[in-house]
Each structure stands twice: as C-alpha cells, then as structure tokens.
Amino acid sequence: MPGKLSTGSPVTGNITTGNPGTGRNARENPATGNTPAGNPALNNSPVADFLEIKPASNAITGLVYLDSNCNGIRDGNEIPLENVRINLFQVKVKDEDETFSKKHGKSSNNISNNAISILQEKLIGHTFTDKNGKFSFPVKAGFYSVNLDINTLPEGTGIPEPDILVIVNIENRAVSGNTISTGNISKTGKKEIIEFGARNVALIEINNDTSLKYHPGQEIILSAVPRDECGIALASKINYSCEDNAVELRNNVARIKEMVPSYRKYTIRASCGKVYRDIPITLGQFPGDCLCAIYQAYQNGIINKNTKIRLYLESLHGRYPANSGFWSELPVKCGERAIKEIRDYIARKTSTDKKLAEDAKQFFCQSFHPLMKLISALQASSKFITRKKAAMPFLLKEVRTSRIISGKSGRPLTM
C-alpha cells in the first residue's frame, strides 16, 4: 500500500505530534483550508512507517504516480505525475528518558518506554517531480519527514498518506517493533524508493450535521472527505463554492454576511475535479431576543452602527415594522444597553446620520410622557427611591420590565 515502506519487514515506531489529527498540508497550506483525510503517517496515526536509507546513497529518492486501480502497487501502465511538490522536513527525536512535558510544556500521548517522539519538524527544502515522476534530496545522516503537497496534485486526485518518516544512516541504533534499541543498522541494505500513489476521487462524503440551524455571522466549518473507489479516505484539495453572494467563503469556513429572513436555505458545493457534493445550510434566527440579535449582528460585521441604532429604534419605538430577520420568540430581557447606545449616538459630534439622530431624539421625547406616568406610579409606592443617583438604574429596570416587555413576543415593541 502507498507509504508502506521497509527494508525486508516493516519497521515501525510510535510517534506523537502536538496536535494529533491535523495534517501538515493544513498547517503549511492554510490557503486551501483542506485538512487531509485518511491517516497521514505523521499526524493522524499513532504508528508510522519508517524507511531506512542505505548510508552510501546520501539521498532520499522517490516516485509519484497515478495508482489508477488503487492497489498500492505501480503497474506498468500507470503514469508518473510531473510537477508535484515534495517537501523535506528535518525531524528532531528523543527517547522516553527525557521528560517531554517538562522541557516543552506539552503532554505526549501513549509514549511507551524507549519509544520515539517527534519534538520538532523544520522545513529544510522542497523539490518538484520530473517528467518521470521522480524526485531526490541529498541528505546527511538523521531523521527526516517527506511530505507530498496535495495542492500540487492533478485536480480530482488525492493520496491516502501524504507523509512518510525516513531514517538515514542512524548509527548504533536500530528500530524494532514499537521501541528503539541499541544496535547496528546493516551497512549493506538496499536503497529504498519512496512511492506516493495518487488515486482518483470517486466520491465525497459530507460530515456536516444538516439538521443544524445557523445564525448570520456565525462561522460554519465545512467538513468534506474525499474517498477513492474502494472507500478509502484521501488527502485531497477541496474547493468550496456558493452561487449566493450572501455566503462568504474563506477556505473551509462559511459565513452568512448579510441579514436575511430567517430559515432561509443555502447550498454550498464541495468539489474535487469533476466529483462534487452539495452541503445544505439552513439559516435560523439569532439566539436571544430581538435587541440581542441586533447587537450580535453589529458585532459580527453584518450591520453598521447607523443600521444598529435604526433597528433599535424600530424595535423599541414601533414607528416602523421591525426587520423580520430580527424578530424573536423571546421577550426582551433588558433594554438598558440599547437605550444607552442610542443616547451615546445622539451625543456624538462626528459620523452621525442627522436624520437618524433626530429620530432618536423624537424617540426619547415621545417616551417622556409614559416615563412620567411610571414615575408618578412609583412615587406612590414604597419602591420609589428618592436619591437622584440611585433612582436612574432602578427606573431603567422598571421601564424595561413594565414597558419594554409589554410588547408581544416576536413583534415590534412599543414604549
């Protein structure tokens, strides 16, 4: 199978990375946003295959081809792939006797006695395959990781394992099973060729929960897994697209940028070459009451400050029909923040919409009479606080409970 390389019998060892389950292509190529699927040797699997290089060769060599029948072996009629980028990483390793967490501030998972742990990978070079699909790196003795950049594979193809760990001339040490022990590596072993067998993507599996409802501005992580004709997961370049301009796509993250009526549906397409799969996304309501929804829309960059104030006035004053996208089944719990922001908006001397500021002033003027009626009622009760500084917060609380909540749930509220 691709990436299963050995001298004689498979030579394996336990390895750990700081973030299991994240592929290097996702780290090194953030522009794609594609986390490789499958089991990359260095990132998703607790056991990696090691390749031992004959000391006299002083080179890591390999081949990239299209494994059209997905059997893991290069057959005579299978074509080599040209201009595929191959990255070379230098790997620093350690034995179990040195405390991983003490030195690096991280914990390692399932490290057995004398197992191999990867501490650091440093990119030291890259190359591209020639017309015969071959590549070569001149190297010194040490530990290396060879990575195939999935973004340079032909469209519609992927690879089961884009990472392979390589040992070059490790003197006085030999790898056996899942441990590392003292010994001598054979000086007469054959030089191995790393073979990356790319495969055609046959289908795309979607892992998103289509029953979920998202609100505008919320980040939606898109999860699509390309698979070959045998159902094996592949690390592959995935393109996400949407015909609706309301959907903003950044790598594998979608976001509804503008305010639209609730419960609208969108379709985002995940494609690998000619193979594609549609991901249905349902837009629901903002969480919380209508004032909270307006505030969250502003925080998420969906509406600007002027629109926020206008929507506050529509919801509190009831002069205009409130934007249906901000209706809520929940009653308003607190109007204090909205009232404070409207007041601060009026007090601003720059970047203020004069017409909107005038409407805000009218809102307070028209609310004055109901407030006076409320104050008169409170004065007759034992709850009224005569001290001026203490009266305002209390008054606001009474206003929001007695007046603002008086509107029906999900409808514009009146003062």
Reduced to 3 states (helix: H, G, I; strand: E, B; else coil), residue 89 is strand
Closest CA to 273 of 163, 162, 198: 198
How confident is the model at residue 248, as a pLDDT? 87
Q: How far apart are CA 232 and CA 96, in angstroms?
A: 34
- Taken in order of first residue, the domains within the chain and their CATH numbers are 6-200 (2.60.40.10), 203-283 (2.60.40), 290-406 (no CATH)
Average pLDDT, the chain: 68
pLDDT at 15 over 60: no
Q: How far apart are CA 93 and CA 267, in angstroms?
A: 46
What confidence tens digit (pLDDT) does each residue in 356-396 have?
A: 888 877 777 766 555 555 556 655 555 444 444 444 444 44
* First CA to last CA distance, the chain: 72
Q: Are 413 and 407 in contact (CB under 8 A)?
A: yes
Which amino acid would we find at residue 15?
A: I
Q: Are 61 and 194 in contact (CB under 8 A)?
A: yes
How confident is the model at residue 258, as a pLDDT? 66
pLDDT at 323 over 90: no
How confident is the model at residue 226, as a pLDDT? 95
- In which band, very low, low, confident or very high, does the pLDDT at 348 lie, cut at 50, 70 and 90? confident
Higher pLDDT, 349 or 83: 83
Outline where 208-304 has alpha helix (H): 290-299
How confident is the model at residue 125, as a pLDDT? 93
Place of tokens 């407030």: 371
